[in-house]
Structure 1
Amino acid sequence: MDHERVVRDATVRLPMASTALEACEWIVAALARHTPAAISILLHVHDRLRCVAATGAWQVHATVPPKAGLVGQVYATGEPAAVADVTADPDHFPVRPDIAAELCVPVLDPAGRLIGVLDLQWSGPVELARWQDTAERLAHRLGARIVALGGPPAESRGEKLLRHATAMTAAATEWELLAAAITAARDVSALSAAVLLLSGPPEPRLGAVTGTPGELESRIRAELAETGSAALDRLITRAHRHGAAYTLGEAGHPPTVDYLPLARAGARTLVAVPVGPPDAGGVLLVADERLLRPDPTTVNLMELLAGQAWACLDRLRTLARLREQANSDPLTGLRHTGPFEQRIATATPGRTALLAIDVDGFKDVNDTYGHQAGDRLLVELARALEGALRQGDELYRIGGDEFVAVIEVNRPEEAVRIAERLTEAARRTGRTISIGVALPHPGEPPERTLLRADQALYKAKHQGRDTVHLSTT
């Protein structure tokens, strides 16, 4: 193999390349005439190595995370690497089942900064040392040409949308999701402002604000915040009734009445895209102070973004409902055993009081008037007890007519006073309750504290019911 000829053939046309992609494609095509290797060039675009030219492989990896596989390792270290037996490399990215050896070298700019990698993989015997020298020389010349042409290609809008869609999918909260969607709308559209207006209930509201919003976005949010809910509803209804819309960038044409708040804020360019269903979704508004003409592709990308945002938002809301159902008693809406056990596990000795509550004569109500009457009684009592507790106190239903309140107090007498307030609230419903109070001792397991509260409750029952008893043991 005449490696000097390989270098000449691969670089002779390089000065004529008009784009970085064209330069990479010529290098790969020329190399393929001299070796049966699977060849690929990956350039760093945003946060990943993206394959921009390849040949000789049944399959290539479109993107590779930094540090993944040999190409990722080479990009992370800036040092060439050769593997004579890929079966011994646990991080090898297979492109063909017959690949035996792999060589990867960094592509550097003239200042020595990494901009990508050149990767070659062979299925048969190969002189890796000779090919490494050749590949490094080619990578050096390619890096210089790429820089002369303005550097690696910018991330396309489709690639941006894919990256942002991944971030939205990973969002753990509704706020994180809406913030990610707004960031994506600005980035993909190249317009300066993005606002999400969400449907009620109880009334339309503005979605999260992310980062430091620009002046136009701040003015739009302020105008919309001062606009009545009826006008906001019209904005949402318009988008859902007529579909996505955008300005043509022509001066001298007044906005429709629905968009007057945006015009007052200074918006001269606007893309409006419906999000989700009218009763639960909203509208994505992307705007700019400049008088521009958004192309249909931009609108299509915003529609794709809105669809992804709604799918993620609907998933988060569904998960929240399922978690609420799993953690709540379906009859009273109070939290039940699982959350209660988690709460008492964090009890503070001498400060966290457990109030074990039992409805007096509840079995007689069920036996005399039926279970529906008993259920109504439990719901009414639950609301009454919740209303008598302080902000931050917690009430749980742990079974049947048994409730437990978890409260933070400074001394036992304070817990007793709150318990007495609960008995008074129960009396106002026409029923009575008995309460046992216990505060955890240092080092005492939560289960033991609850047992002492139950024992105090039984003593309150024996004392004639409709009373409070404090555990002193």
Structure 2
Amino acid sequence: MDHERVVRDVTVRLPMASTAVEACQWTVTALARYAPATISVLLQVHDRLRCVAATGAWQVFSTVPPKSGIVGRVYASGESATVDDVTEDPDYLPVRPDVTAEICVPVLDPAGRPIGVLDLQWSEPVELAPWRATAERLAGRLGARIMALGGPPAESRSEKLLRHATAMTSAPTEWDLMAAAIAAARDVSTLSAAVLVLGGRRGPRVGDPTGVPGELEARIRAELTEAGAGPLGRLVGRAHRHGSAYTLGEAGLPPTEEYEPLVRAGVRTLVSVPVGPPDSGGVLLVADERLLRPDPTTVNLMELLAGQAWGAVDRLRTLARLREQASSDPLTGLRHTGPFGQRIRRATPGRTALLAIDVDGFKTVNDTYGHQAGDRLLVGLARALEGALRQGDELYRIGGDEFVAVIEVSRPDEAVRIAERLAEAARRTGRTISVGVALPHPGEPGEATLRRADQALYAVKRHGRDGVRLAAA
């Protein structure tokens, strides 16, 4: 094999390439005429190695993590690799069942930094040493031409969207998801600001994810927050009634009323996309201070992004509802025995008080008026007891008509006063309760503290009910 001719034939074509991808494709095509091998060029695009040209395989990997396989090893180290037997190399990524040997060399920029790899795999006997030298010479010329053409190809907007979709899908909280969606909208649209408005129980609200917003984004959030729920609702309603909208990049035209807060913030270019269903969704606003004309493809990508974002929001909210259902009593909405058991294990001796509560005469209500009346009683009483507790106090339903309040106090008499307040709240509903109070001793399990509170409760029952008793120290 005349390796000088191989280098010459490949090299003569490189100046005719007008893009980095063309340069790679022509290199692979010309080299394939001489080397009976599976040949590919992978270049770094964002955080992966993308296969931009290949020949000689039924299927190749589209992208490879930067440290995966022999190609990733060569890219990361910047050093060529000759593998005489791929079955002995744990990093080998199979593309053909009959491959026996592989040569992989880094594609370097003029400063010697790796920007990709040139990979050749053989399925028949071959003298590897001269092919490695030839591959290294060609990779050097290819790297120089790629950099002369502006470097490796940029990540396409659809690839960016796919990458961001993965980040949104894995977001652990709604705030993290908002931050991921906003970052994606900026990156994919190339506009400078993005704001997500989502509906809630108290009406639409402006997302305020973690991170420092840009100047325009901060002004948009401030103006929309100042505008309040009414204008925000109209902004969301417009998007859901009429669909996505975008500006035309023409100066001097007045905005409709819904967009006035955005204009006050300095917005001159805007893409507005509905998010989710009209009753619980919102709107994605992507904006810029420059006077631009977004193309329809940008709008379509923002619609895809909004759909992905809402799917992730809906997933998080569904998981939250399932967790709530799993840890809450379905009748009263109070937390039940599972969370209560976790809470009392964190009790602080002498500070955490357990208030065992039992509804007086509850069985008579069920027997006389039926279980529906009993259920209504429990729900009303639960609300009354919650209202009598302080901020931070916790109320659990641990049985049919049995409740426990967990409160933090500085002295036992403070716990007794709160218990008496609960008893008074119950009386205002037309019912009475018996309450036993206990504070954990050092080293005492929470279950033992609860038993002492129960004993105090039953002492109240024996002495006529409708009262409070502190357990013996």
Same fold (TM over 0.5): yes
Q: Secondary structure at the match of 1:103?
A: strand
1:246 and 1:299 in contact (8 A); partners too: yes
Change (3 A) 1:83 1:434: farther
Q: Secondary structure at the match of 2:398?
A: strand
- 2:26 equivalent in structure 1: 26
- 1:280 equivalent in structure 2: 280
- 1:77 equivalent in structure 2: 77
- 2:393 equivalent in structure 1: 393
1:200 and 1:280 in contact (8 A); partners too: yes
2:20 and 2:151 in contact (8 A); partners too: yes
- 2:195 equivalent in structure 1: 195
- 2:6 equivalent in structure 1: 6
Question: Matched residues, percent identical?
Answer: 81
- 1:371 equivalent in structure 2: 371
- 1:114 equivalent in structure 2: 114
How does 1:110-149 map onto structure 2 within 5 Å?
A: 110-149=110-149
Residues of 1 paired with 2:472 and 2:106: CA distance?
74
How does 1:226-265 map onto structure 2 within 5 Å?
A: 226-265=226-265
Q: Deviations over 1:307-350 (max 9, x none)?
A: 11111111111111111111111110101112112222222233
Q: Read off the aligned partner of 1:403 and give its amino acid letter.
A: F
Find out whether 1:359 has 2:359 as its counterpart: yes
- 2:428 equivalent in structure 1: 428
Where in structure 1 do 4 or more consecutive aligned residues deviate above 4 Å?
none
Residues of 1 paired with 2:88 and 2:438: CA distance?
63
Q: Secondary structure at the match of 1:12?
A: helix
Q: Secondary structure at the match of 1:316?
A: helix
- 2:35 equivalent in structure 1: 35
2:175 and 2:210 in contact (8 A); partners too: no
Q: Secondary structure at the match of 2:264?
A: helix
Change (3 A) 1:192 1:8: same
- 2:327 equivalent in structure 1: 327
Change (3 A) 1:469 1:147: same
Q: Deviations over 1:207-246 (max 9, x none)?
A: 2345332332222222222224333222222222222111
Find out whether 1:440 has 2:463 as its counterpart: no
Change (3 A) 1:412 1:131: farther
Residues of 2 paired with 1:39 and 1:224: CA distance?
55
Q: Deviations over 1:25-46 (max 9, x none)?
A: 1221122112232222111111
Q: Deviations over 1:389-413 (max 9, x none)?
A: 1111111111211111111122333
What is the Cα deviation at residue 171 of structure 1? 0.8
Q: Deviations over 1:33-78 (max 9, x none)?
A: 1223222211111111111111111111111122222222222232
| Higher mean C-alpha deviation, range 2-11 or range 35-44 | 2-11
Q: Secondary structure at the match of 1:105?
A: strand
- 1:174 equivalent in structure 2: 174
- 2:224 equivalent in structure 1: 224
1:183 and 1:210 in contact (8 A); partners too: no
Q: Read off the aligned partner of 1:320 and give its amino acid letter.
A: A
Q: Secondary structure at the match of 1:324?
A: helix
Q: Secondary structure at the match of 1:406?
A: strand
Q: Secondary structure at the match of 2:248?
A: coil
> What is the total number of aligned residue pairs between the two structures?
473
Residues of 1 paired with 2:455 and 2:92: CA distance?
65
Change (3 A) 1:126 1:219: same
1:356 and 1:402 in contact (8 A); partners too: yes
Q: Secondary structure at the match of 1:455?
A: helix
Change (3 A) 1:53 1:362: same
What is the Cα deviation at residue 82 of structure 1? 3.5
Q: Deviations over 1:240-263 (max 9, x none)?
A: 222211111122332233322222
Q: Secondary structure at the match of 1:167?
A: helix
What is the Cα deviation at residue 371 of structure 1? 0.8
Residues of 1 paired with 2:296 and 2:358: CA distance?
66
What is the Cα deviation at residue 170 of structure 1? 1.0
Change (3 A) 1:434 1:124: farther
2:359 and 2:402 in contact (8 A); partners too: yes
Change (3 A) 1:416 1:36: farther
- 1:318 equivalent in structure 2: 318
1:195 and 1:286 in contact (8 A); partners too: yes
Q: Deviations over 1:333-375 (max 9, x none)?
A: 1011121122222222332222222112211111111111111
1:182 and 1:210 in contact (8 A); partners too: no
Tell me the TM-score normalised to structure 1 length: 0.94
What is the Cα deviation at residue 192 of structure 1? 1.4
What is the Cα deviation at residue 91 of structure 1? 4.2
Residues of 2 paired with 1:168 and 1:385: CA distance?
40
Residues of 2 paired with 1:461 and 1:82: CA distance?
86
Q: Which 5+ residue runs of structure 1 have no aligned equivalent?
A: none
1:200 and 1:279 in contact (8 A); partners too: no
Q: Deviations over 1:75-99 (max 9, x none)?
A: 2232333433333444432222333
Residues of 1 paired with 2:281 and 2:190: CA distance?
24
Residues of 2 paired with 1:441 and 1:88: CA distance?
65
Residues of 2 paired with 1:88 and 1:470: CA distance?
75
Q: Secondary structure at the match of 1:356?
A: strand
Change (3 A) 1:2 1:349: farther
- 2:268 equivalent in structure 1: 268
Q: Secondary structure at the match of 1:13?
A: helix
Change (3 A) 1:6 1:263: same
1:235 and 1:259 in contact (8 A); partners too: yes
Q: Read off the aligned partner of 1:351 and give its amino acid letter.
A: R
2:268 and 2:287 in contact (8 A); partners too: yes
